[in-house]
Amino acid sequence: MIVTPWEVSGRIDYEKLSREFGTEALTIDLLDRVQKHAGKLHTQLRRRIFFSHRDLNWILDEYEKGRKFALYTGRGPSGPVHIGHIVPWIFTKHLQDVFKANLFFQMTDDEKFLFHQNTKLDDPFRWTYENALDIIAIGFDPKRTVIISDIKNINYLYELAIKVAKHMTFSTVKAVFGLQESSNIGIIFFPAIQSVPAFLPSAVSGKSVPCLIPAAIDQDPYWRIARDVAPKLGFPKPAQIHSKFLPGLGKGGKMSASMPETAIFTTDSPEIAERKIMSAFTGGRTTIEEQRKLGANPDICSVYHYEYFLFMDDDKDIEQLRRDCLSGHILCGECKKMLAERVKPFLMEHQAKREKAKDHIEEFLAESKGVDLPE
Ligand code: TRP
């Protein structure tokens, strides 16, 4: 398996990753604590889609003492948003609702320009706008959310970025990100930029504000180095909660915008989404007879993963589906149809919210609202 901030491939062993990265598993005790605040434990926690963390216990200690924390997450806008991207955003919104937390949402439009040889700057600008609509459609609270573009809102980031950069050496960045002598120097500086929003809540308010970063596990290298720098600048170390990747509709690998047939984009028409689902890779057998007799394998099935990650909320239903699949009671065609029938209304609803977001975008963007959020 390969898991870096720019490449995720192979069959991912999350326990091994967590060990290698030095993160902690979400224990039952910790989840109980979250549940006390949330009422019901969110599906993504119950199913361990968010599966590891750093300092989440500390975030809760502080919260329970009356000290609020801020949330920070982000997106590298290089193309349309697909359903895999919104999995952690949905969870982030849940955290915002439960903990009345402010959220800094970073659009690293510089990142894609620097890392991809063929990306021109026009693309990130366009995608920052398009993707912001998807983010807003998730339902974040405009009073508590600010979307920051690295390029357009560098005025809010640069001062902190150079403070951070002064404590990051080339040798650290090179080792952590596997850079080379031939890497362009924008890439070398970039980790400072991605660290900044973790410190903004403190810098802006003049108080020490704990920060929790919900993000897929591939972003962890950034937080490791941000955590080393934090105390040197008098900021609390940012805490993290890490998610798994939603697999693509093809065989193996995470959902990727570069393979459009295996990704359901939020802007896909219901018909296109249905077509993609109907040709998805499953864990089925070659013949119906064989499947009825031997059952299929949900663990490698993309359709099952979609239900598990996002669409089938009731645990009893998902367990039933798993049993029906293993026993050969249900066939892949039926299963795909069932998923398509859930995905279609979901997309239509999301697209309606996305349209509405066009009239409210300035309530979210740093250039129109600044970065000052209420306490
Ligand atoms: N680097 C991330 C990407 O390529 C975007 C990002 C910036 C991010 N800041 C973040 C993701 C904080 C999660 C949390 O998508």
DSSP character at residue 254: B
Integer Cα distance of 98 and 93 in angstroms: 9
Tell me the average pLDDT across 353-359.
Answer: 98
Q: What's the CA-to-centroid distance between 192 and ligand 1, angstroms? A: 13
Residues near 262 by beta carbon (within 8 Å), at least 6 away in sequence: 248, 249, 250, 253, 255, 256, 276, 280, 302
Measured from the CB, is residue 124 less than 6 Å from ligand 1? no
CB atoms within 10 A of CB 275: 14
Integer Cα distance of 88 and 303 in angstroms: 19
Strands 239-243 and 50-54: antiparallel
pLDDT for position 295:
97
* pLDDT tens profile 184-213: 999 999 999 999 999 999 999 999 999 999
* pLDDT tens profile 292-320: 999 999 999 999 999 999 999 999 999 99
Long-range pairs for 285-290: beta carbons < 8 A, 24 or more residues apart: 288/331
- Range with the poorest average pLDDT among 11-20, 50-59, 154-163, 198-207: 11-20
Q: Which of 3, 8, 194, 245 for mutating ligand 1's site (highest number of atoms within 8 Å of CB)? A: 194
Q: Which atom of ligand 1 is nearest to the CA of 107?
A: 7
- Percentage of the chain beyond pLDDT 90 is 87
Integer Cα distance of 114 and 140 in angstroms: 29
Q: Which of 71, 72, 73, 75 for mutating ligand 1's site (highest number of atoms within 8 Å of CB)? A: 75
- Chain centroid to Cα 63, Å, comes to 23
CA angle, corner 279, sides to 275 and 285, nearest 5?
150
Measured from the CB, is residue 153 less than 6 Å from ligand 1? no
Strands 145-149 and 103-107: parallel
* pLDDT tens profile 263-299: 999 999 999 999 999 999 999 999 999 999 999 999 9
* pLDDT tens profile 133-158: 999 999 999 999 999 999 999 999 99
Contact 207, 171 (CB under 8 A): no
Which phi and psi (to 5°) does residue 123 adopt? -65, -55
193 to 32, 145, 164, 170, 239: CA distances (angstroms): 35, 19, 8, 15, 17
> Atom 9 in ligand 1: which residue has the minimum CA distance?
74
How does residue 4 score in pLDDT terms, banded at 50, 70 and 90?
confident
DSSP string, 229-294: HGGGGT-PPPEEEEE-PPB-SSSSSB--TTSGGG--BTTS-HHHHHHHHHT---S--SSHHHHHHH
DSSP character at residue 140: -
Integer Cα distance of 134 and 10 in angstroms: 28
Bridge partners (DSSP) of residue 187 are none
Helix (H, G, I), strand (E, B) or coil at 247: strand
> Atom 11 in ligand 1: which residue has the minimum CA distance?
74
Q: What's the CA-to-centroid distance between 94 and ligand 1, angstroms? A: 18
Measured from the CB, is residue 213 less than 6 Å from ligand 1? yes
Measured from the CB, is residue 243 less than 6 Å from ligand 1? no
Measured from the CB, is residue 131 less than 6 Å from ligand 1? no
111 has pLDDT over 70: yes
Measured from the CB, is residue 266 less than 6 Å from ligand 1? no
Contact 97, 127 (CB under 8 A): no
> Smallest Cα–Cα separation from 78: which of 34, 37, 108?
108
Q: What's the CA-to-centroid distance between 253 and ligand 1, angstroms? A: 19
DSSP character at residue 309: I
Q: What's the CA-to-centroid distance between 174 and ligand 1, angstroms? A: 19
CB atoms within 10 A of CB 16: 11
Q: Would the pTM of this model clear 0.85, i.e. be above it? A: yes
Which phi and psi (to 5°) does residue 286 adopt? -75, -30
CA angle, corner 149, sides to 148 and 152, nearest 5?
120
Q: Which of 212, 219, 223 for mutating ligand 1's site (highest number of atoms within 8 Å of CB)? A: 219
> Smallest Cα–Cα separation from 56: which of 33, 74, 87?
33
Rg for the chain, CA atoms, rounded: 21
Q: Which of 90, 106, 115, 148 for mutating ligand 1's site (highest number of atoms within 8 Å of CB)? A: 106
223 has pLDDT over 80: yes
